[in-house]
Amino acid sequence: MKYYIIAGEASGDLHGSNLIKELQQLDKKAVIRCWGGDLMQSAGATLVKHYRDLAFMGFAEVIMNLKTILGNLKFCKEDIKSFNPDVLILIDYPGFNLRIAEWAHQLKTQRPNLKTVYYISPQVWAWKENRVPAMKKTIDKMIVILPFEKEYYQNKWNWNVDYAGHPLVSVIENFSKENAGSTQFEFVPPVKTHNNVIALLPGSRKQEISKKLPIMLEVSKAFPQYQFVLAKAAALDDEFYSGFIQGYPNVSAVRDKTYRLLMQSKAALVTSGTATLETALFGVPEVVCYKGSNISYQIAKRLIKIKYISLVNLIMDKPVVKELIQNDLTVKNVQAELSELLFNPSRQQQLVEDYLNLKKILSAGGNASANAAKIIFDFVNC
């Protein structure tokens, strides 16, 4: 069969590559064409566009690059028609992929056998819920990776979607196994001890880092016996970070080694997002930190209707990890919570149990990528 896969971000490239490997196990004659990255290409797909050429963040940047974005959409549609796939697989990246799904639905008047599968749902349960009716109409099969999403779509929208489990479970399990004998690595500047590391994951955008990193760094002063190690974002240069970390003797930094860092961390201060889930799957106690501009926060409060901001708490439907949001994100509060994680045995034990349950829920009875591949393969062949 012929598969056309579209992923527009680094995470989509990762999950897309693992999906491709599993599809190839099921379909030895699979021909795969993709938008993605180096990982999808290495897995055996023909790469049409790299996600680096697709990443436009924020309203202003989108407006400035509107001609390029519209050109990409036009080229993508022409390339799909030329390739004539049996199935179109869209991985997350909703701003682009939902437009392609709508176009593909219209294309069915000419090519009725084309099937559209969406893998990794947009987070419409948090915001932009008005997208769902169009999604339900234009997407033939939705595969979700968060357990509550299946109930959300079924109960609220009468849409039977498939839950495959979360692909990060296998990604992190495999990484841990492959690096089990070499977890320690050298930090720059040198770390005094590899047994007392606290990870700092302040995010990937300058604005969010500028709000949260100074608070995280001030906390380091209360724990001089620990080495705080900052995970730098790939897209930001060293000069950006140097102005923050100067004057903190027990702070170091790494780049492109976040998983290695988490493997040897006692605890972590983590911004909201997927990093909260990755940290939990590594079994690292964490404090979830969020702070934005007051205007952005007030707007977000009115638009986003969820109980928690961290995926860990959302999945478990209870406050497994402490969330310090906006005005609650202070040096004093972070210091108090970090002390609990480091020195309170009962709290540590409860986290161990909660993290194990989290992993069990997200495993969904097997490898998520393999589960998703089988759902897709069976659906296309039914």
CA distance 351 to 286: 10
Q: What is the CA radius of gyration of the chain?
A: 22
Mean residue pLDDT of the chain comes to 90
- Is residue 61's pLDDT more than 60? no
The verdict on domain 2-165+366-381 having CATH code 3.20.20.70 is no
Query: What pLDDT, on the 0 to 100 scale, is given for residue 231?
Result: 95
The tens digit of pLDDT for each residue in 318-345 reads: 999 999 998 999 999 999 999 999 999 9
- Is residue 290's pLDDT more than 70? yes
**CA nearest to 209, candidates 181, 179, 237:** 237
- The residues that bridge with 116 in the sheet, in sequence order, are 88
Q: How many C-beta atoms surround the C-beta of residue 276 within 10 A?
A: 28
The tens digit of pLDDT for each residue in 349-375 reads: 999 999 999 999 998 778 999 999 999
The tens digit of pLDDT for each residue in 65-82 reads: 565 667 789 999 999 999
The tens digit of pLDDT for each residue in 221-252 reads: 999 999 999 999 887 898 999 889 988 999 99
Query: What pLDDT, on the 0 to 100 scale, is given for residue 116?
Result: 98
Cβ burial of 341 (10 Å; 0-12, 13-18, 19+) is: buried
Query: What pLDDT, on the 0 to 100 scale, is given for residue 304?
Result: 61
Query: What pLDDT, on the 0 to 100 scale, is given for residue 273?
Result: 84
Query: What pLDDT, on the 0 to 100 scale, is given for residue 59?
Result: 45
- Is residue 306's pLDDT more than 50? yes
- DSSP string covering 119-162: ES---TTTS-GGGHHHHHHH-SEEEESSHHHHHHHHHHH----E
Alpha helices in the chain (DSSP H): 10-26, 38-42, 59-64, 66-83, 94-107, 132-138, 147-157, 168-178, 206-219, 238-245, 258-263, 274-281, 294-303, 311-316, 331-343, 345-363, 368-381
CA distance 325 to 189: 31
- Is residue 301's pLDDT more than 70? no
The tens digit of pLDDT for each residue in 39-59 reads: 999 999 999 999 887 655 444
Residues 6+ apart with CB under 8 A from 323: 272, 288, 290, 308, 309, 310, 313
Query: What's the pLDDT band for 300 if we cut at 50, 70, 90?
Result: low
Torsion of Cα atoms, 324 then 328 then 330 then 335, to 10°:
-50
**CA nearest to 39, candidates 15, 8, 4:** 15
What are the tokens at 326? 């906006």
- Do residues 315 and 362 touch, judged by C-beta distance below 8 A? yes
Residues 6+ apart with CB under 8 A from 5: 16, 19, 20, 32, 33, 34, 35, 36, 40, 45, 89, 90, 91
Q: Which residue type is seen at 126? A: A
Q: How many C-beta atoms surround the C-beta of residue 225 within 10 A?
A: 9
Report the length, in residues, of the chain: 382
Q: Which CATH superfamily is domain 174-363 in?
A: Glycogen Phosphorylase B; (3.40.50.2000)
The tens digit of pLDDT for each residue in 115-144 reads: 999 999 999 998 889 999 999 999 999 999
CATH 3.40.50.2000 residue ranges of the chain are 2-165+366-381, 174-363
- Is residue 155's pLDDT more than 50? yes
- The residues that bridge with 288 in the sheet, in sequence order, are 270, 323
